[in-house]
Structure 1
Amino acid sequence: MERLAGKVMLLWGWQRALLAIAAGAIGALALPPVGFFAAFFVSFTLLVWLMDGSTAGSEGGFFRRFRSTFILGWLFGFGYFVAGLWWLGNALLVDSDEFAWALPLAVFGLPAYLALFYGLAAAIAGILWSDGLGRLAALSLGFGIGEWLRSFILTGFPWNTIAYGIMPIPMMMQSAGIVGIGGLSMLAVFIFAAPALIGTRKGMVGGLAIAVLLFAAHLGYGAWRLHGADAMMAARPQQDVSVRLVQPVIDQARKMDNSDRVAIFEEHLALSSAPPSEGVKRPDVIVWPETSLPFILTQNQDALARIADVLQDGQVLIAGAVRAEDAGPGRPPRYYNSVYAIDSQGQIIGASDKVHLTPFGEYLPYEDFFNSIGVGNVVDMPGGYTAGSRRSLITLPSGVSFYPLICYEAIFPDEISLEAEKASVILNITNDAWFGITPGPYQHFQQARVRAIETGLPLIRDANNGISAVVDPFGRISTGLDLNHKSVIDSTIGGGAVSHWNNFSRQTHLWLIAAAMFLIAAISRQGFKSRVN
């Protein structure tokens, strides 16, 4: 290990750059659907040794070190995000005649932007870099700040945050309920980077001991929490509500063909009205995925009447739809990506709009500039969608309340408001058919599962082509449908769990961990400077 570490530190030029990119790409193997979390041990060990080479000596001063470590972190991030997000390009191939030219921007442009946050993470770590275990704390702090910034700058895109790499199974997800994704990312970086100490020896015993204790605590807490999971849910109020999730598997190109709307609508209705399996209760609630209703309901009473014909007395349909709103004389209507609740009389009894829209998919930032160079939305909607002002609970006559998260809203833990505490269940409807059979739907599903653990609420997730599932408050799948399996799920909404999660405590834990990492790194850095001088 010492010989290998020395070779990595001494690499220069294109060899150093290529290894940094490869190290990041290897880390993407920790993400779904592969979920080989040990890949991050290789990834971050190599990054530490590369950082050792970039920070060796004091020639050139602060700005040279900052530039060197920033570039190194950017290369690492570029490899990680290209390997983890290449599937985004699939969305542009749905309408390839119009958007194929933008394929390089999706596959390489977005990763190049996201890599800036990892470049900053490495640069921050470089300021506090030392030769012992303190450099692991410095790297953890840097990535913690980088991931925090990535979660909200330019509306945020915290997809594939490092923490998701250390939670391939429910037992390894439970820690997110205490420290949140941000705090867990910092702790994960420390753990994953610890093997680098074997190659340099300094601080090895202490650093490995801390990493082993952190990892053991991560696993131990997960095992303890799952051991008492069933008893905990049994002690909470149970919800005697049966639900059917409809997974219609409608090809995205077909959804965009206006001439096929009626047939698509009837396919959803046919799946909804299919009799339940023998011994299974008739569903009280039927759920359709995002934008499944191919009409503007307020402009199509026939569609509402058709829904009323199919629903039995007391049943409710919850479905994704486009909602139109009059914007005033001489102005085009505003469109919202919404979810409706419709009763058996064909009446809309609840609704909520998507609050966090997808840039370049549902709206165009800096619209005038991009329109001037011929760039438009991937979703063909005049003027794009309008963001909802607030997320509203959907409460049914039975008293069951759904906290709606439409599409990628489920990847933003910080946006789950206090309203969720009043909810019975999280509802995530989505249309991942844009991404085909790629890692995208698997990654999206994993992130939605973690929201259930954070909130202590069961999760109902309905996706056009998958992955649809009912997930308990501990992230365990009660029942589900895999990608491109056209069918329905009949299940019940279970009880909740005791959750330690809320916005305040999660942010408190994040900054407490950051403070601890800073102190370890700063003390180690001071000792390192004293030895050098």
Structure 2
Amino acid sequence: MERLAGRIMLLWGLPRIALAVLAGAIGALALPPFNIFAALFISFTLLVWLMDGSTGSADGGVFTKFRSSFLLGWLFGFGYFVAGLWWLGNALLVDADEFAWALPLAVLGLPAFLALFYGLATLLAGFLWSDGFGRLAALAAAFGLVEWLRGFVLTGFPWNTIGYGAMPIPLMMQSSAVLGIFGVTVLAVFVFSAPALIGTRKGMGVGLALAALLFCVHLGFGAWRLAGADAALASASSNASIVRIVQPLIDQSRKLDDAERSAIFEEHLALSSLPPQNGGKRPDVIVWPETSVPFILTDNPDALSRIADVLQDGQILITGAVRSEEAGPGSATRYYNSIYVVDSQGQIISASDKVHLVPYGEYVPYEDFLRYLGIGDAIAMPGGFTAASTRSLLTLPSGLSFYPLICYEAIFPEEFSSDLERAKALLNVTNDGWFGATPGPYQHFQQARLRAVETGLPLIRAANTGISASVDPFGRIGNGLAYNQKGVIDSTLSGNFIPHWNNSARQNNFWLIIAVMVAIAAISRAGFKIGKN
């Protein structure tokens, strides 16, 4: 290992660039659907050794010392994000004649931008770099900080945060209830980097022992929490609501075809009216995916009548739909990506609009400023959505209340409002059909599962092409439909589990971990400088 570490440290030029990109790409194997979390041990070990070999003497200028560190992190991030997000390009191929030109922007441009955050991470770590296990703490704190920044800078895109690689199964998800995804990321980077100490020896005993302890606590806490999971949920009423999740498997090209709208609507109704599964009780609530209704529902009273025909007395339909709103004389109509709650009389009794829209997918960010620069019309998005100012809880006549998350809103762990305390479950409706049979739908599903663990609420997830499932507050799948499978699932809504830690506590724990890691790195750095003198 020492010989290998030495050779990697001394790499220069193209081999060094190639290995940095490869190290990041290897790390993406820890993400769904592969879930090879051990890949991150290789990925971050290589990154530490490459950082050890960064050019620039300790006494050089700031630019000289840290230029190579930033570039190294950027290359690592570019490999990680290209390997983990290449599937985004599939959305542009649904209407290839119109959007294929933008394929390089999605497959290479977005990863190149996101890699700037990892470049910042290695740049920051470089300020506290030393030759002991303290450098692992510096790297862990820096990655935790930039992943947190990635959650909100320029509207935020925390997709595939490193910590997800440490949580492929429920046993390994429970730490997020205490630390949140960003806190788990800090400790995960430290643990994943620990094998690098075998190749450089200094601080190996203490560093490996600490990493092993953290990993064992991670697993042990998960085992302890799951051991009491069933007892914690046992208080759920035996007459809890039965929820039917509809996965219609509508090809995205059909959804874009106006001639298919009526047929698509009827397919949803047909699945909704199927008899109860396995001779069970009829569903109380039926859930359709995002934008399932292929027209403006409020403009189609006949469609509401058809829903009333299918629903039995007392049944409720929750569906994704586009909502329109007249903005006033002389103003363009506003459109919202919404969820409607429809009762058995065909009446819309509740609604909630999407708050966090997808940049350049659902709206053009900073459009007013771009128009001021004279380029707004060039990138204007016809039919774009308007973001809601607040998120509305969906409350049913039975008193059951859902906290709505439309599409990728489920990847943001810190955007929950105070209404979360009144919710009995999370509801995530999405349409991942844009991305085809790629890792995208699997990654999206894993991130939604983590929100259930963090909030202590069960998750009902309806996806057009999958993955649809009911998930309990511990991240365990109760019932589900695989990707690219058409059908319905009927599940008894799991009880909720009030966690000891709310979002504020998780944020405090995150910053405490950051402070501890920075302190370890600073002490190690001070000792390193004294030793050199």
TM norm structure 1: 0.97
In structure 2, give the amino acid aligned to 1:123: L
In 2, the alpha carbon distance for the partners of 1:311 and 1:10 equals 69
- The offset of 1:28, in angstroms, is 0.1
Contact 1:237/1:496, CA 8 A, preserved across alignment: no
Q: Residue by residue, what CA displacement relative to the aligned partner does 1:273-326 show, whole Å, maximum 9, x if unpaired?
A: 011124211000000000001121111111111111111100000000000011
In the aligned structure 1, how far is the partner of 2:10 from the partner of 2:380? 46
Give the superposition deviation at 1:238: 6.0
Cα distance in 2 for partners of 1:237, 1:226 equals 20
Tell me the secondary structure at the aligned position of residue 521 of structure 1.
helix
Written as runs of structure 1 = structure 2, the 5 A alignment for 1:8-23 is: 8-23=8-23
Moved over 6 A (4+): none
Q: 1:371 to 1:90 in 2, by over 3 A?
A: farther
Map of 1:323 onto structure 2: 323
String of CA shifts for 1:490-530, please: whole Å, max 9, x gaps. Answer: 11101111313322111101100000000000000000000
CA distance in 2, matches of 1:144, 1:321: 36
1:47 aligns with 2:47: yes
Instruction: State whether residues 56 and 66 of structure 2, in contact with CA within 8 Å, keep that contact through their aligned partners in structure 1.
Output: no
Q: State the distance in 1 between where 2:375 and 2:255 align.
A: 25
1:72 aligns with 2:72: yes
Answer whether contact 1:55 1:129 (CA < 8 A) is retained: no
**Partner Cα distance (1:118, 1:388) in 2:** 31
Structure 2 residue aligned with 1:311: 311
Q: Could you give the per-residue CA deviations for residues 149-173 of structure 1, whole angstroms, max 9, x where no partner exists?
A: 1000000000000000001100000
Whole-Å separation in 2 of the counterparts to 1:164 and 1:84: 12
Partner of 2:121: 121
C-alpha contact (below 8 Å) 2:427/2:461 kept by paired residues: yes
Separation in 2, partners of 1:122, 1:60? 17
2:526 is matched with 526
| Corresponding position of 1:361 | 361
Q: Report the Cα distance in structure 2 between the residues aligned to 1:221 and 1:370, rounded to whole angstroms.
A: 55
Could you say which residue in structure 2 is the equivalent of 1:471?
471
C-alpha deviation, 1:331, in angstroms: 1.3
User: Which residue of 2 is the match for residue 102 of structure 1?
Assistant: 102
Secondary structure in structure 1 of the residue aligned to 2:448: helix
- Contact between 2:57 and 2:65, CA under 8 Å: does it hold in 1? no
1:67 is aligned with what amino acid?
Answer: R
> What SS does the aligned partner of 1:414 have?
coil
Q: Give the structure 2 partner of residue 302 of structure 1.
A: 302
1:413 partner SS = coil
* More off after superposition, 63-72 vs 173-182: 63-72
1:150-299 paired onto structure 2 within 5 Å? 150-235=150-235, 240-299=240-299
Deviation per CA, 1:407-435: give whole Å up to 9, x if none: 00000010012211110110000000000
Alignment of 1:340-359 (within 5 A): 340-359=340-359
Cα distance in 2 between the residues matched to 1:30 and 1:196:
18
Structure 1 residues 154 and 370 mapped into 2: Cα distance closer, same or farther (>3 Å)? farther
Q: Which amino acid aligns with 1:436?
A: G
Q: Secondary structure at the match of 2:212?
A: helix
Unaligned runs of 5+ in 2: none
Q: Deviations over 1:165-200 (max 9, x none)?
A: 001100000000001111100000000000000000
Moved more, 277-286 or 342-351: 277-286
AA aligned opposite 1:259? A
Contact 1:338 / 1:353 at 8 angstroms: preserved in 2? yes
Distance 1:501 1:252, change over 3 A: farther
What is the alpha-carbon distance in structure 1 between the residues aligned to residue 8 and residue 55 of structure 2? 13
Counterpart contact for 1:87–1:439, Cα < 8 Å: yes
- Return the alpha-carbon distance in structure 2 between the equivalents of residues 444 and 108 of structure 1: 20
Deviation at 1:366, TM superposition (A): 3.7
Give me the whole-angstrom Cα distance separating, in 1, the residues matched to 2:96 and 2:363. Answer: 19
Change (3 A) 1:90 1:371: farther
Please give the secondary structure, in 2, of the residue aligned with 1:479.
strand
Q: Structure 1 residue 372: deviation in Å?
A: 5.4
Distance 2:395 2:362 in 1: 27
Q: Is the 8 A contact 2:56 2:64 kept in 1?
A: no
After TM superposition, give the deviation of residue 468 of structure 1 in Å. Answer: 0.1
Map of 2:459 onto structure 1: 459
Aligned residues of 1:125 and 1:142 also touching (Cα < 8 A): yes
Contact 1:431 1:464 in 2 (8 A): yes
**Amino acid in the other structure paired with 1:444:** H
State the partner residue of 1:392.
392
Question: Matched residues in 1 for 2:151 and 2:237: separation?
Answer: 34
SS in 2 for 1:142: helix
Task: Note if contact 1:290-1:407 (Cα within 8 Å) is conserved in structure 2.
Answer: yes
**C-alpha separation in 1, matches of 2:249 and 2:54:** 50
Cα deviation per residue 1:228-250 (whole Å; 9 max; x = unaligned)?
10001113566610010000000
Q: Match for residue 133 of structure 1? A: 133
2:339 matched to which residue of 1? Answer: 339
By how many angstroms is 1:358 displaced? 0.1
CA contact (8 A) 2:24 2:80 kept: yes
CA distance in 1, matches of 2:90, 2:61: 44
Are the aligned partners of 1:360 and 1:376 in contact in 2 as well (CA < 8 Å)? no
Identity of aligned residues (%): 70
Please say if residues 56 and 65 of structure 2, whose CA atoms lie closer than 8 Å, have aligned partners that are also in contact. Answer: no
CA contact (8 A) 1:454 1:500 kept: no
Preserved CA contact (<8 Å) 1:90 1:436: yes
TM-score, normalized by length of structure 2? 0.97
Map of 2:504 onto structure 1: 504
The count of residues paired between Structure 1 and Structure 2 equals: 529
Q: What letter corresponds to residue 136 of structure 1 in structure 2? A: L
Once residues 291 and 373 of structure 1 are traced to their aligned partners in structure 2, the CA distance between those partners, rounded to angstroms, is 26
Aligned to 2:7: 7
Paired with 2:413 and 2:257, the residues of 1 have a C-alpha distance of 34
Q: In structure 1, what is the Cα distance between the partners aligned to 2:171 and 2:101?
A: 43
2:54 aligns to what SS in structure 1? helix
Structure 2 CA distance for aligned equivalents of residues 231 and 204 of structure 1:
42
Match of 1:513 in 2: 513
Q: What corresponds to 1:92 in structure 2?
A: 92
SS at match of 1:235: coil
Q: Aligned partners of 2:525 and 2:110: how far apart in 1?
A: 34
8 Å CA contact 1:327–1:334 kept in 2: the answer is yes
Q: What is the deviation of 1:5?
A: 0.2
Question: 1:321-380 CA distances to partner (integer Å, 9 max, x unpaired)?
Answer: 000011010111100000000000000011000000000100012433696584454xxx
Structure 1 position 260, deviation (Å): 1.0
Matched, 1:425 2:418: no
